A = this chain, B = another copy of it.
């Protein structure tokens, strides 16, 4: 049984800089990997001499977890065919490099001299694709090709620009990006961001307000769930990014209390006994939730692991 467990076992490691080589033991946090992996070097204000910034969420932590999940799921799929498990290794630095696919491609094809740099809100290669001032804030407008760009210009009452050589094609618009922005903002200053959203989105112009968390919550409640926790109380959290036609996503498995699952795993799943857990708890090796042993065995019994 142990042998069968061993050959079917899938296990996964997440190292900061990979588990081999000179950086194997190096420690890091999300932001340090943003720094080491090039992400910060491409994020920040466009003006020369301004300091770049970190991404405002723990993006490398999140994506490293996603890569670990993908790796384990792929290994499960392989096991369903082969019958055997395997080891999956992931690296947070490799995850960061993967996220940088577009800047890396631009560097690769743009020549060694071309280095992706921060460009504020703007896209490095397409216009109009930027944040634009409105009467009361900023509207992000993004276009991907000439016909979309012309559609956006017409929707703003700037249809006459589409025929001008400075604004007809994307290379021309990139060369005259500041002038295009000035003309668009002259129009956009006449209405609020919300008014423009109501007008431009139905017209097919890809655009959005720059929502803060409160605005996101108000405008898109469908992407949130509330999770109850016995000590922290109710908390707002992001809902599942995927839905399955044959399964509901379960939000009741909240974050556990410290040690809450220790006995379930050690006694129930791995077969250690009460005396072993008592010794380990006294020695400080484990945090087991119940303070006395009767509680511990009683709780384990209630869960069917007695």
Size bracket of the A interface = 35 or more
**Interface: A266 (CB within 8 A):** no
- Contact with A94, one of B32, B140, B241 (Cβ below 8 angstroms): B241
A74-108 with Cβ < 8 A to chain B = 74-78, 80, 82, 84, 86-91, 93-95, 97-105, 107-108
Instruction: Say yes or no: A84-B246 contact (C-beta < 8 A), given A97-B216, A241-B91.
Output: yes
Give the chain B neighbours of A120 by CB distance below 8 A.
51, 53-54
Query: Is there an interface contact between A57 and B102, defined as CB atoms closer than 8 Å?
Result: yes
Given contacts A99-B59, A213-B103, contact A88 B242 (CB under 8 A): yes
Nearest B residue to A112 via CB reads B214
A40 in the interface (beta carbon within 8 A)? yes
A48 at the interface (CB under 8 A from B): no
Stretch at the interface among A171-179, A181-189, A200-208, A274-282: A200-208
Asked if A99 and B239 make an inter-chain contact with CB atoms under 8 angstroms apart, the answer reads: no
A129 to B23, CA, bound (A): 21
A42 to B, closest residue via Cβ:
B56
CB–CB B109/A235 < 8 A: yes
CA distance A120 to B54 in the complex (A): 6
CB within 8 Å of B: which A220-237 residues: 220, 222-224, 232, 235-237
Q: What distance in Å separates the Cβ of A90 from its nearest Cβ neighbour in chain B? A: 5
Alpha-carbon gap, A240 to B95, bound state (A) = 8
Let me know if A35 and B241 touch, CB within 8 A. Answer: no
Nearest opposing residue in chain B for A118, CB measure: B56
> Which residues of B have CB within 8 Å of A268?
none
Residues of B within 8 A of A104 (CB): 213, 224, 236-238
Report B-chain residues with C-beta under 8 Å of the C-beta of A77: 73, 76-77, 80
With A32-B206, A88-B242 known as contacts, the answer to whether A214 contacts B107 (CB < 8 A) is yes
Mark A residues whose CB is within 8 Å of B.
Answer: 17-18, 21, 23, 26-29, 31-33, 35-45, 50-59, 62-64, 66-71, 73-78, 80, 82, 84, 86-91, 93-95, 97-105, 107-109, 112, 115-123, 129, 131, 138, 140, 142, 144, 201, 204, 206-217, 219-220, 222-224, 232, 235-247
29 contacts between A and B (CB under 8 A): A18-B222, A27-B204, A32-B140, A32-B206, A35-B131, A35-B210, A36-B209, A38-B215, A40-B121, A40-B140, A43-B53, A44-B53, A51-B138, A53-B118, A58-B101, A58-B102, A73-B77, A75-B244, A76-B77, A78-B244, A86-B244, A94-B242, A97-B216, A98-B238, A100-B213, A101-B238, A105-B235, A107-B236, A116-B212
